[in-house]
Structure 1
Amino acid sequence: MTDSQAEADAGYGYSLEELSAVGAPSVPDDFAEFWTARHRVARAVDTAPIMRPSADPAPSGVVLYDIEFTSTDGLRLGGWLSLPADGPVERGLVVGHGYGGRSAPELEVPVDRAAVLFPTARGLPVRGSQPDIPEGGRLHVLHGIESRDHYVHGGCVDDYWCATSALLQLVPESASRIDYLGGSFGGGIGALALPWDDRISAACLMVPSFGNHPLRVTLPCSGSGESVRLTAQERPEVLDVLQYFDAATAAGFITIPTHVGLALADPAVPPPGQFAVYNALAGKRERFLLTAGHMEYPGQVEERQALLDAQRRFLS
């Protein structure tokens, strides 16, 4: 499916009322057992984090550091850490990224006086690259998909748990309150990570991916989900693995306050999957409706600023 074809029907024919009614798939009997076991392993990792002054430009009001830490499977990953340029650290924030990885930290986040960690998940550029994991989203999303124990998305969830451990070791003051922020890939992986980690107080997800895989594989798109859709047509057994990596299923176990930015049109992450994540949340929730995701549209800059303001209020 081409990008132009996807943008032509980025709403997939769903009304807001219909989107608000999209549910989550059935829960595997051992879903929670699978994830709590993974979490125990990740929490036991000695992340051995290091930080050093970064040569990259720092956002206003912060000092920027390059960081490295160890995740599961002995993988050494990198990212950035920002600290207030003056005054104490009052809280922490872990920030996930999209399927393109990240080449720099975000310029603005919805919290102040925070230690903000910008980790890069395994296999993704530029500081998560691994020789045996393909970097492009459409290939990365299929890596290890034959096995729930080796699927790359499980490792990526581990990476965010280990990043949180690294943050606490590098900046112990951040333990007073740690929140999570992530969009698209980072929204979906964040949803998978949040239910099992009691160190996270609240979360903001934007256009979260990987929601309701059985529905997703019926919706052509321009994002990584297209690779999954085509693979599932040839090998439907991959859905047996993907049921353990469904962000909407995981959302049913998220009890912390969660704010979700939801796109009414999105050629890369079909809106029904996004709404499936929000609709399934088990705790306090708040939504912010976006005109579109993963595409340009009039008023986008102003709308994204309004989303940031809403997130700031939610996390205050």
Structure 2
Amino acid sequence: MPSLAHAFPFDPRHGHTRESLSGVPAPAAPEGFDAFWRGRYAEAREVDTAPELGPVEEERDGVRVHGMTYTSVGGVRLGGWVALPDGTSPPGGAGARGAARYGFVVGHGYGGRDRPGPDLPLPLPGAAAILPCVRGMGTRGRVPGIPDTADAHVLTGIGARDTYVIGDCVADLWCAASALLTLAPELELPGAPRLGYLGESFGGGLGALALPWDARFGAAQLTVPTFGNHPLRLTLPCTGSGEAVRAHHREHPEVTEVLAYFDAATAATRLTLPTLVAAALFDPAVPPPGQFAVYNALAGARELKVLTAGHFAYRGIAEEVRELRAHRARFFGEHLGR
């Protein structure tokens, strides 16, 4: 494991080695875990997402990127972007939208997104994608009463499982998938699932919580996923949203009962679709043991790409990013390609 110089007042490896990380477990599910999430999913599927596509904002990487809005649970109207094939993919013609062969829902990190740039190009040619801003996050996800900073957002409604904002953010992803399928109905043709999921950090944790219940997805990539093994996370200092949760827990220890329903590692024990996890050995924002807990718990086909670090600049990061992009293209080609 390479040595990384840093000035954090704690060890971003938390004393772990690659070998010890492979043994980090997932917490047991609380009573009613599956019923809770199945109920949330059923509620989200009842929503008429009514997506509205805006004008083209940029054209690159074989897609045209539009601004868009859609409706999620609670009648909340959210925004984001949609990338649609630009007509170079058959059967489109010059100036026409090509038929999408695959679709992706792309989750974002804590802090949201102000543009779709870093999430393109998509893993497979001829793909469409929706890049939503979940409630409270990013310039197109602002919602009255929901803070737009990670430390405050992660505590919103945390007093009860039915009010915790993280559950609504998961539902925002399910509704985003519904909106994409409305805009690209060719993706709902009979056969194997044609949707993939991409999520990093906050988006990785939300993906782990969302995917076990949604059969529309056929494969996923979770990069440095958060929310893994909350009981362990509460003992580990960090610079991310987990530190706000740790501080809240010191004053409200009963919050562990709520967090148990939002544990990405627990959810991963129900996640059977092929999943690629990119987990870091060193990460000041999302403790590596929580990341590896998600990977270790996966119930289906899985692949692991070990990163030197997450949420931290280091020599060699550009090469690792290129390797990960190539890895995910091969992975989705195997599991979604046809």
TM class, shorter-length: over 0.9
C-alpha distance in 2 between matches for 1:89 and 1:71: 23
Residues 194-205 of structure 1: pairs in structure 2 closer than 5 A: 194-205=211-222
Q: Report deviation, 1:175.
A: 2.7
Is residue 2:221 matched to residue 1:220?
no
CA contact (8 A) 1:115 1:174 kept: no
Q: Mapping of 1:1-316 within 5 angstroms?
A: 4-5=7-8, 9-55=11-57, 57-86=58-87, 87=89, 88-105=99-116, 106-175=119-188, 177-316=194-333
Number of residue pairs the alignment of both structures matches: 312
Gaps of 5+ in 2: 1-5, 90-98, 334-338
Q: Report the Cα offset of residue 126 of structure 1.
A: 1.2
SS of corresponding position for 1:54: strand
Question: Which amino acid is 1:5 matched to?
Answer: F
**2-structure distance, mates of 1:20, 1:210:** 17
Moved over 6 A (4+): none
Identity of aligned residues (%): 55
Q: Give distance in 1, aligned partners of 2:52 and 2:25.
A: 42
CA offset at residue 112 of structure 1?
1.5
Return the letter of the residue paired with 1:178.
Answer: L
Q: Secondary structure at the match of 1:134?
A: coil
Give the residue type in structure 1 aligned to 2:108. H
Cα distance in structure 2, aligned partners of 1:207 and 1:91: 24
CA–CA separation in structure 1 for the residues paired with 2:30 and 2:226: 20
Cα offsets for 1:200-259 (capped at 9, x unmatched): 111000000000000001000000000001111111101100000000000000000000
Residues 113 and 138 in structure 2, CA contact (< 8 A), matched pair in contact too: yes
1:98-141 Cα offsets, whole Å, 9 max, x none, are 00100111232222111111011001111111111000001000
Structure 1, gaps ≥5 residues long: none
Query: How big is the alpha-carbon RMSD for the aligned residues of Structure 1 and Structure 2?
Result: 1.1
Cα offset, 1:48, TM superposition: 0.7
Provide the secondary structure at the position in 1 that maps to 2:60. coil
Determine helix, strand or coil for the equivalent of 2:8. Answer: helix
Q: Which letter does structure 2 place at the counterpart of 1:200?
A: F
**Equivalents in 1 of 2:124, 2:252: separation in Å?**
44
Distance 1:144 1:198 in 2: 28
TM-score, length basis structure 1: 0.97
- Are the counterparts in 2 of residues 109 and 308 from structure 1 also a CA contact under 8 Å? no
Aligned residue type for 2:32: D
Larger Rg, first or second structure (1 or 2): 2
Residues of 1 paired with 2:322 and 2:11: CA distance? 25
Cα drift, residue 64 of structure 1: 1.1
Superposition deviation, residue 85 in structure 1: 1.4
Counterpart Cα distance in 2 of 1:69 and 1:83: 16
> What residue number does 2:96 align with?
none
Contact 1:45 1:71 in 2 (8 A): yes
Deviations 1:259-308 (A, max 9, x none): 00000000000000000000000000000000000000000011011011
Q: Give the Cα separation in 1 of the matches to 2:56 and 2:20.
A: 47
- Distance, in Å, in 2 between the alignment partners of 1:58 and 1:273 is 37
Q: Secondary structure at the match of 1:154?
A: helix
2-structure distance, mates of 1:84, 1:42 = 27
